[in-house]
Amino acid sequence: MGMQGDFLQLLKEQGYTLGAPTAVGAGHALTNATTILAFKYRDGVLVAGDRRATAGNMVMYDRTDKVLEIDRHSVMAIAGVPATAYEMVRILEHSFKYYRRTQLQELSFDGKLRAVSKLLKDNVPAALAGTGAVVPVFAGYDMEQGSAKIYFYDILGAEFEGVEYAVSGSGSPTIRGILHYLNTWGEQPLSALPEEQAMVQALRLLTSAAEFDSATGGVNREASLYPVIKLVTGAGVQTVPDATLKPLYESQVVRYV
């Protein structure tokens, strides 16, 4: 994701301003969703996102779902303007469903990647205007190759495969460094983690991002608010319930904080 920062810097040097509290209507800043991550674990891909949406320095909502299921084998995690991202997901969901019903087969994994890229390219004017930038992470199970995969994009629609992991959003610099450390020098690579340990790492990563990034929402035990975590495997997309995350957080995250 290092190229993402360079790309945004290039746009700024050309006079574009992205991600700033742009005045809209009566001077309100755009709502933005923040930190998302995905990494491969033993059984597939884990995709997670915090729940906070911000507008400038204001917390607009703390129950945002940033990991959205497109079909039974693919999800898109969103960072950027939720309104634009949600509309993209609705279009993708209907497009995949239409293809499945008319062709009597699933759209290929490569076809899904192209569909995401095209929507981002079509959104370039809004992204460059600072009113609709979305930098998503797409994860899905490739039925032809029998493996789960991760792809991330820039705002122009260029796609890059996250061989082991991908991150996006305001808290991503913190957790990208941690992911590199864990994957390189941890007791075992991320792709070898069992399901429960993968969920623990996701909770720890988002807790770390919330510690250093005010736009990333942490766990709120009093309100029973936990990150959204989805698992993508050959069996399909599974949403991890809060009832599963709560004991993991209390036994393997909060006691270390």
Does residue 211 come out as left (phi exceeding 0), alpha (psi in the -120 to 50 range) or beta? alpha
Tokens of 41: 């674990």
Annotated catalytic residue 84: no
Residue bearing tokens 């293809």: 99
CA distance 152 to 170: 15
Sequence letter at residue 236 = G
CA gap 152, 135 in Å, rounded:
8
- In the sheet where 236-239 sits, what is the strand order? 165-168, 36-41, 44-49, 228-233, 236-239
CA dist., res. 197 & res. 150, Å (int)? 19
| Catalytic residue from among 17, 22, 31, 34 | 34
Coil/strand/helix, residue 12: helix
Catalytic residue ranges: 34
